[in-house]
Amino acid sequence: MSNKDSKVVVIGAGVIGLTSALALARQGYPLRVVARDLPEDSDSQAFASPWAGANWCPFRSEATDPRICAWERETFARLSELIPEGLAMKLPARRFAPDEADLLGSWYQDVVHSYRILTPSECPKGALGVAFETLSVNAPVYIRWLADELRKLGVEFERRTLLSLDQAFESFGGVSLVINATGLGAKSLGGVEDPLVEPIRGQTVLIKTDVTDCTMDGSNPSAPAYIIPRPGGEAVCGGSYGTGDWNLSVDPALAKTILERCFKLDPRISSTNSISGIKVLRHNVGLRPSRVGHPRLEAERVIVPSYSLNPHARPPADEKRRVGTVVHAYGVGPAGYQVSWGVAKEVKELVNEHFAKQEGKRAAKL
Ligand SMILES: Cc1cc2nc3c(=O)[nH]c(=O)nc-3n(C[C@H](O)[C@H](O)[C@H](O)COP(=O)(O)OP(=O)(O)OC[C@H]3O[C@@H](n4cnc5c(N)ncnc54)[C@H](O)[C@@H]3O)c2cc1C
Ligand SMILES: *[C@@H]1O[C@H](CO)[C@@H](O)[C@H](O)[C@H]1NC(C)=O
Ligand SMILES: *[C@@H]1O[C@H](CO)[C@@H](O)[C@H](O)[C@H]1NC(C)=O
């Protein structure tokens, strides 16, 4: 197959778009990344990826979905390979939950290291807990690294806000396959607007600290708290989960509550015995690109141009409409980093299938 026939456009330069692009570029696909926000825009609240913790710690909602567990398993292995270069760091973690079910039946105990059940005296009153060794990345640093790896392979980035599916298929000189990794953008991009996409607002406080222990306290669902150390002598303190909340402003009262809860979890984050001794670097708000039910990862056949922005438009009589494929990869919500390599692997498989089918058709015609 000639290179020209296997060109791919990836929409979105968050961790999902970038990781998928890297998996494809490493396999030799010529591709372009088209996105409104690029990895160097680490202050942009218009995408989620700069704002993540970002550690690997499964959520309750995913435990019942073997497909998501497989993505997470794959990602853990791939991120572990980046520990020696300092892109990921080993993270001793404690996790507290209100009940057994919330600990996820420990499906991941053979994925992480040194998994053990904590005694009641090691947990907040009334809570259950486990300890294990996992990992984290420094989100803005990590996505810039992904972009650098792509550039080294000759991949170009185009900063552009796409309004519709058609524009994606027309870019990069015209392609037959588009990867849709638009996160929350999937809600409004013309063509197949997805009403199930919704934000989960997360407010955090980034602090300077030598603490390298991670604590995730979900034992009181109305008062979640976590400390996620990351490479660079920093930690992300959270958190909040505001489903459907698009507000990008920092709530100062919530910031104070977050610091108080985190100080209680691990007083070593302060140099004094109060929250005033915590070295705050900045306050952040990010919107997790979630999707009611589950993320969307599948291939869809579409007709382009679709004239989706104008339902009354008719294609000019002489215009050739053709079939294209969109591989949707969005809606990963609070866990984009920890599923990223597993998602990228499946995206790659879907892309391979698409081009194999196309090749088969072409061969049949000859
Ligand atoms: C406070 C907080 C804490 C988190 N903690 C963790 C954690 O510990 N572990 C973890 O795994 N995850 C965590 N996450 C979640 C993680 O950040 C997200 O799941 C992940 O970043 C989603 O990546 P994405 O690539 O799907 O979307 P995004 O990062 O939102 O990227 C979307 C991309 O699509 C582009 N785009 C959208 N619409 C268009 C358009 N019309 N035209 C062109 N481009 C478009 C955007 O510009 C951007 O480039 C956290 C998130 C928050 C907010
Ligand atoms: C990506 O998916 C979303 C949700 O289905 C949709 O709104 C958008 O049009 C899609 N974009 C492309 C280019 O297929
Ligand atoms: C957004 O949050 C800020 C800070 O909490 C608050 O002052 C403001 O009123 C909120 N805006 C909306 C539209 O709710």
Q: How far is the C-alpha of 144 from the C-alpha of 38, rounded, in Å?
A: 9
Q: Which of 165, 325, 347 to mutate to test the pocket of ligand 2 (most atoms within 8 A of CB)?
A: 165
Tens digits of residue pLDDT in 16-63 = 999 999 999 999 999 999 999 999 999 999 999 999 999 999 876 666
Share of the chain above pLDDT 90, in %: 72
pLDDT of residue 137: 98
Q: Is the CB of 251 under 6 A from ligand 3?
A: yes
The residue contributing the CA closest to ligand 3 atom 2 is 249
Rg (alpha carbons) of the chain, rounded to whole number: 22
Residue 209 lies in a domain: no
Residue 64 lies inside a defined structural domain of this protein: no
* Residue with CA nearest ligand 3 atom 13: 247
- Please tell me whether 288 is known to bind a ligand: yes
Distance 324 CA to ligand 2 centre (A): 13
How many domains are contained in the chain?
Answer: 1
Question: pLDDT digits over 106-145, tens only?
Answer: 688 899 999 999 999 999 998 999 999 999 999 999 999 9
308 pLDDT band, cuts 50/70/90, is low
CA distance 260 to 253: 11
Answer whether 53 contacts ligand 2 (Cβ < 6 A): no
The packing angle between helices 336-365 and 66-80, to 10°, is 100
**Ligand 1 close to Cβ of residue 183 (< 6 A):** yes
Task: Flag whether 37 is in a domain.
Answer: yes
Q: Determine phi and psi for 89, rounding to 5 degrees.
A: -130, 145
What pLDDT, on a 0 to 100 scale, did the predictor assign at position 63?
63
Does residue 235 form part of some domain? no
N residues, the chain? 366
- Mean pLDDT, all residues of the chain: 90
State whether the beta carbon of 295 lies less than 6 angstroms from ligand 1: no
User: From the CA of 366, how far away is ligand 2's center (Å)?
Assistant: 34
Kindly state whether residue 113 falls inside one of the protein's structural domains: no
215 appears as a binding residue in the annotation: no
Query: Which ligand 3 atom is nearest residue 250's CA?
Result: 4
Handedness of CA 317, 318, 319, 320 (dihedral sign): positive
Mutate which of 203, 240, 246, 249 for ligand 3? The one with the most ligand atoms within 8 Å of its CB, which is 249
226 has binding-site annotation: yes
pLDDT tier for residue 194 given thresholds of 50, 70 and 90? confident
Instruction: Give the model's confidence band at 309: pLDDT under 50 very low, under 70 low, under 90 confident, else very high.
Output: low
Residue 344's CATH number: 3.40.50.720
> So what's the pLDDT on residue 293?
81
- Cα-to-centroid distance, 288 and ligand 3 (Å): 18
pLDDT of residue 316: 64
Q: Is the pLDDT of residue 346 over 90?
A: yes
Of the listed ranges 65-69, 83-87, 190-194, 293-297, the least confidently predicted one is 190-194
Q: What is the DSSP letter of 75?
A: H
- The continuous run of DSSP H or E covering 264 comes out as helix 252-265
pLDDT band at residue 104 under the 50/70/90 scheme: low
Say if 24 falls within a structural domain: yes
CB 247 less than 6 A from any atom of ligand 3: yes
pLDDT beyond 80 at 314: no
Distance separating alpha carbons of residues 242 and 84, to the nearest angstrom:
36
**Residue 286 CA, closest ligand 1 atom number:** 53
pTM of the model: 0.93
- Whether residue 291 has its Cβ less than 6 Å from ligand 2: no
Lowest mean pLDDT: which of 85-89, 100-104, 116-120? 100-104
Residue 27: give the domain boundaries: 1-54+138-196+292-366
Of all protein residues, whose CA lies closest to atom 15 belonging to ligand 1?
334
Q: Could you tell me which residue, 315 or 214, shows the higher pLDDT?
A: 214
Contact 11, 181 (CB under 8 A): yes
Domain contains 255:
no
Which atom of ligand 2 is found nearest the CA of 191? 9
Is residue 252 assigned to a domain?
no
